Structure formats: C-alpha cells, structure tokens
Amino acid sequence: MTELLQPQILGPLILAMLFGLFVGATPGLTATMAVALIVPISFELDNPTASLAMIIGVSFAAIFAGDIPAIYLRIPGTPASAATTLDGHAMARQGRAGHALSLALFSSCLGGLVGVLILMFLAPQLAKFALRFSNFEYFWLGILGLSLSAAVSGGSTIKGLLAAALGMLLSTVGIDLVSGTPRFTFGQSDLMSGVGFIPVMIGLFGLSEVLRNVARGESMSAPSVRPDDHIRPLHSLLTLLRHKLTLVRASIVGTFTGALPGAGADIAAWAAYGIEKKSARNPERLGKGDERGVVAPAGAHNAAVAGAWIPALVFGIPGDTVTAIVIGAVLVYNLKPGPLIFEQSAAQVEAIFGIALITQLLLLPCGYLAFKTFGGILRLPRNLIMTAVVVFSVVGAFALRNSLFDVGIMVAAGWVGYFLESRRIPVAPLILGLILGPMVEENLRTGLIKSQGAFLPFVTRPICLVLWLLLVLSLVGPRIARLLRKAPGPSPDTLIPRA
C-alpha cells in the first residue's frame, strides 16, 4: 500500500481525477468519454501502476461529478446522475444546492468504499469457483454478457443484440489467431492486427457525443453550469449519519447491479432510488427535495463502478462500458482478466484494489476542490468544450500508434455511433461485442474441437445449463415483466425510469 502512496502514482491519479471531475460535470460528456480520453494519455506513462491509477481515478471521479450539473441545472452530467436530478435539483431550488452537493460527494465516497470492499472480498471467492469453467462455459458467459448488455442498455433488446453482433463482426477483422487466415483486411497492412479498440471507443463515445450535442441545436455560446459556493461539510456529514441505512442499502444494491454485465451505474442509481422510494415510510417526500433522494442514487452509482470490476476481473466480462475500456487497456500491460489473475498477477490486482480505495479517500478533497475551483471553468461556453473534445479525440487516437489510419477509424466510428444512436441502437453492446467477440469465437471453436464437432456439451454441462437458462431469462424476462406490469394497471411509483 505504501508503494501506492508515492508521488509518481498519486500525482497522475489526482490529475486524472480532476480531469474526470471536469468531464463528468460537463453535461453531454460522459464518464465513458472521460475514460476513453484518458487511456491514450495513461499509455504514455512509464509506470503501469500509475497508468492504472489514472484510469481507475477518472472513472470514479467522473461518475460522481455528473451529480454537479444534475443538482444545479437538472441536467445530469452523465446518465448515472439522472436519478439525482429529482431530489438534488429540488433541493437546489429550495436554496440547498451546496448541501445537496456535499451529500452527493460523501455518499459517492462511502458508496464507492463499500463497493470496493465487496469487490475485494467477493472477487477472489468467485474466481475460485470460476476455475471450474472450461471453453463451453466461457462461450456462454460471453454470450450472456452480450445479451444482458443488449437487454438493459435501453430500447429494444433486438437492437441491442444487433449492436453486439456488429461489434463482434468488427472483432473478426484481421488475422484469425487460430488458423492465421486474414479476414476482411482488403490487403491493408493496417488492418492485419484488427480494428483498433481504442480508436473505435474514442469515436463512439467522444466524437459521436459531440455530433449528437451539436445536432440538438442548443445554444453553444451558453455556459454549461451555474456554480454555487454555499457548502457546509459537517452539516452534510451529520445528515448522512441520519440516513446511514439508506446509504448502506444503496451501496449494496449499487455494487450488485454494477456487477451484472451491461447494467452500469445509471441502472444502479435508478434501482437504488426505486428501492428507497418503495421502502420509505413517507415515499411522497421523495422527488420533492428529500435528502434520501440524493444519498441513494449517489451512493449507488459509485458503488456500481466498483461492482463492475467483479465480472471484469474474474471472467473478463466487463460490467459496463467503462470496465470494457479498462479491460482493453489492461491487456496492454499483459494483465489478462480471468480466474487465474488472482494467482498470476496478484501484485497488480492488489494494486487495483489499493488504488480504488485511495481514490475514494481522494474523492473528498478533489470533489471540494472541484466545487470551489471549477466554477470558472464550468462557465466556459459549450462550443469551446466540444471543440476541445474533437481535438483531444483526434490526438488521442493518433498518439496510441502514431497512426493516421487509427484517426480515420476513430472518425468513422464517430459517424457510425451517431447514426446508430439516432436510430435508437445503443452503442454500449457494440463496444462489448468488440471486446467479447474474440473470446466467444475462440471458446466456441476450441469447444467444438474438444467435443469433436458435437454441440451437446454446450448445453448439457451443469454450469452451461444454468448460464443457458440465464441467457433465455435475460432475453425473455423483460418481456414477461412488461406483460405482468401491464396486467393489473401499474402504479407510477413502481416504475423505475431509465436514464
């Protein structure tokens, strides 16, 4: 742990957190984009632990920072903060913006802390169980991760599955690792090693986000956020003590929701808010500036960031788009996610846990610093922010391999992302497809070779059977739930709106 407290680790970590706070607090820019933009910068550091620290720090900080404009302007900085807008903004209208911000910050720190502790305890236990998995189980695990992400990413499940298929198809470009045959390379040497994951991701979450923002036609000269400085940390801490049960409940819900592949911090925040409303003695107060309406989603969304690391580390299945990017990034450092990671790369895993813990503690001072100092920066007009994102996207895509071809890939991915989202096809399953495609194909083919071409072991092995049934449930479950909800005439309180 003391190694992690060295300036060469803490320096990049704090800088990355401040960057994450800025991006997360800017409406229209997501936490995923913050991570996507920090990855090329982190690769330039000589120390892999410092690089990991930057990626971890930026993800937690950006998710929290989305609450800042959510509270001030009822515009969530990131989708994860949509639930915070309800009571957070109501508190701001009552002149309690500083208190709401402070509550959100403390809840995010403590929620993240609970999430990291659960991750530290649960992940190694789960890894011992995962050692029983073979190619057959990993094939279904990959498919299950993709289908879950398609089912919960918003909109139609079929469209989510189409996005996942598109991602998997992109992952087949390049030399086939099993047979050495080139696929879809069109004689281009740049395509032999496949479509670069990082340029695609920067395009999908950086450039396409800018294109969508511009397409909305909102004023680009207006500043993003109106700041407010009335913050009393002690008062907020005492309030949080009163709502400790809410925080604990939200953190646990957030961690386990985040651990579901595809269900990110946004769903975790809405789930925690919904549970809080259902379990409250006076649910009518929520939505009208109740402190619990800030504590629950803020605690849950940062706990979900930690929870998403559980399937990512144990199975190599990203819990959300942020961990999808993280998996792509850690592969560069020869850190191969899977059950053996806890034995083969124990030191790096401990470093990840340690950095995640330190990040929660640093979030408090960094968050307060952000409240105080970002006021001026957040007054910057949106056109400046959007232009900076375009330039950073281009330079970020180029810097990885000094390749203009990668810049072209990034620009193409930006346009594809814009087209897909404007037709209500979610892009998150696409990025998961790109990551999980090789895993699914390799395990399918190796499994078939092992079983001498028989498909039966894919469905008859006990763990396969469970995973297969979970897959069916993930695809049919939402439809059944919708039918059940329609039948008796639902109460609006029981509906959990999507971010």
Partner 1 sequence: MIPDPDSPPPPDRPSLALGTALVAFGAMAAFLAARIPYRPLGDTSDPGPRAFPLLLGLFLAAGGLRELIELREAQRAAAARGEPNPFLPNPRSLFPPRATLSVGLAAILYVPAIAWLGFIPSTILLVLGLMKGLGATWRWAVGTAITLVAVIHLLFATLFRVQLPTGLLGFPW
Hunting for tokens 């001026």 — which residue is that?
376
Segment lying near partner 1 (by CB under 8 A), choices 180-188, 253-261, 296-304, 336-344: 180-188
Instruction: Tell me, rounded to whole angstroms, the distance of Cα 56 from its chain centroid.
Output: 11
Q: Is 75 in the site for partner 1 (CB under 8 A)?
A: yes
User: Which tokens in the block code for residue 374?
Assistant: 């970002």
Segment lying near partner 1 (by CB under 8 A), choices 50-58, 108-116, 188-196, 422-430: 422-430
- Minimum CB separation of residue 3 from partner 1 in Å reads 23
- Minimum CB separation of residue 441 from partner 1 in Å reads 5
- Minimum CB separation of residue 7 from partner 1 in Å reads 16
Q: Compose the 27-66 pattern: x for residues touching partner 1 by CB under 8 A, - for all others.
A: --------------x--xx---------------------
Q: Residue count of the chain, please give it.
A: 499
Among 24, 76, 77, 367, the residue binding partner 1 under the rule CB under 8 A is 76
- Minimum CB separation of residue 61 from partner 1 in Å reads 19
- Nearest-angstrom CA–CA distance, 122 and 246: 22
Closest CA to 59 of 82, 45, 39: 39
User: Which tokens in the block code for residue 253?
Assistant: 């819900």
Q: Which residues of 1-12 are buried (b: 16+ CB within 10 A; e: fewer)?
A: eeebeeeebbeb
* Cβ atoms 116, 59 nearer than 8 A: no
* Cβ atoms 202, 397 nearer than 8 A: yes
Q: Is 371 in the site for partner 1 (CB under 8 A)?
A: no
In DSSP terms, 182 is beta-bridged to 175
Q: Is 288 in the site for partner 1 (CB under 8 A)?
A: no
Among 2, 189, 282, 452, the residue binding partner 1 under the rule CB under 8 A is 452
Q: Which residues of 66-90 are buried (b: 16+ CB within 10 A; e: fewer)?
A: bbbbbbbbbbbbbbbbbbbbbbbbb
In DSSP terms, 223 is beta-bridged to 381
Q: Is 188 in the site for partner 1 (CB under 8 A)?
A: no
> Which is nearer to partner 1, 76 or 115 (by Cβ)?
76
* Cβ atoms 297, 270 nearer than 8 A: yes
- Minimum CB separation of residue 310 from partner 1 in Å reads 28
Q: Is 192 in the site for partner 1 (CB under 8 A)?
A: no
Q: Compose the 92-131 pattern: x for residues touching partner 1 by CB under 8 A, - for all others.
A: ----------------------------------------
User: Quick one: CA dihedral 157, 160, 162, 165, positive or negative?
Assistant: negative
Segment lying near partner 1 (by CB under 8 A), choices 101-109, 331-339, 369-377, 441-449: 441-449
- Nearest-angstrom CA–CA distance, 318 and 321: 7
Q: Is 481 in the site for partner 1 (CB under 8 A)?
A: no
Q: Compose the 154-173 pattern: x for residues touching partner 1 by CB under 8 A, - for all others.
A: -xx-xx-xx--xx-xx--x-
Among 60, 116, 441, 461, the residue binding partner 1 under the rule CB under 8 A is 441
Count CB neighbours of 54 within 10 A. Answer: 29
- Minimum CB separation of residue 354 from partner 1 in Å reads 25
- Minimum CB separation of residue 273 from partner 1 in Å reads 10
- How many residues bind partner 1, per CB under 8 A? 77
Q: Is 183 in the site for partner 1 (CB under 8 A)?
A: yes
> Greatest CA separation found in the chain?
70
Hunting for tokens 């959990």 — which residue is that?
496
